[in-house]
Amino acid sequence: MNFEAASAVLAFPRIMPAQRKLLAALLFSLCAASLAHPYPACAAAFFAFLLLPFSGLEARFIRRRLRAINLFLLPLWLLLPLSFSPLSPPVPDETILPLGPLFILPSRFATALLITLKGNAIAAALLALTGSSSPAENNRALRSLHVPDKMIALLIIIQTNLELMSRESAQVFQAARLRGFVPRSSPASWRIYARLIGLLLLRSWQRARRVEQAMLLRGFAGAFPSFPQSGTECRTDANACSGAFRVCCLTALLLAVWDFMI
């Protein structure tokens, strides 16, 4: 394998065709979601995080997305081990720790760890494989996979406007801080938070109306047009991309087989 092919293998999350990236991400996500043991889940997370440096995405963008995923999973670590009744534990001879009116089941921490590993593996794989594609490439790939037009339009609009809404949210809260707002746990602070969120929702609704009107004026009829693939998107080694695609799919299948054999 020459130097160009080796570079293509290392950078395959960025230069692989969008259709293959979607298929690889779907297969990997299904296999990772079906894992029932921590060691295969840890290997899946390691493989997915290994793809991130070669995806071409900014480190700050990756950290922000993974932080949101882990903040969403954090309540599992706080609520899943708790139980209101010590009767009928899920595991025989399980240790039960009393905590006032509640009971802590330590074995459920392993379940929270398993869910966290699988969630991070799926999120990292989706970021590395699909996050590096442009909306036009994802539109073309979804059409080639015969996804309904309404679902394609919804996904493309979300992809194109998510970062914009994130920046607008940051501007709203920054404006509040510049006007002397200091976050506290007092009722006044919660009222200000509610007003800021309401203002953000109102701005989102107004922007959505403007975007809808602009799209209708440009002839939008429920489906985005799909343009043929340009030649500049196919300048990498096809054999290297095909081999990298097989490696990704084979890794997902091996993880599923490993989990089944444990």
Is-contact 247 23, C-beta < 8 A? no
Mean pLDDT, the chain, rounded, equals 78
Q: What is the model's pLDDT at position 262?
A: 74
Q: Where are the alpha helices (DSSP H) in 99-148?
A: 107-129, 135-144
Distances (CA, A) of 223 to 18, 35, 142, 199, 220: 19, 36, 12, 30, 7
Kindly state the percentage of the chain with pLDDT values over 90: 9
pLDDT for 221 equals 75
Distance CA 230, CA 237 (A): 16
- Edge-first strand listing for the sheet containing 102-104: 82-83, 102-104, 97-99
pLDDT, position 116: 93
Q: What is the mean pLDDT of residues 133-146?
A: 78
Tokens for 19? 């259709």
Give the mean model confidence (pLDDT) for residues 139-147. Answer: 79
Region of 88 please: left (phi>0), alpha (psi -120 to 50) or beta. Answer: left
- Are 90 and 105 in contact, with CB atoms under 8 Å apart? yes
User: Within 13 Å, how many C-alpha atoms sit on residue 109's CB side?
Assistant: 7
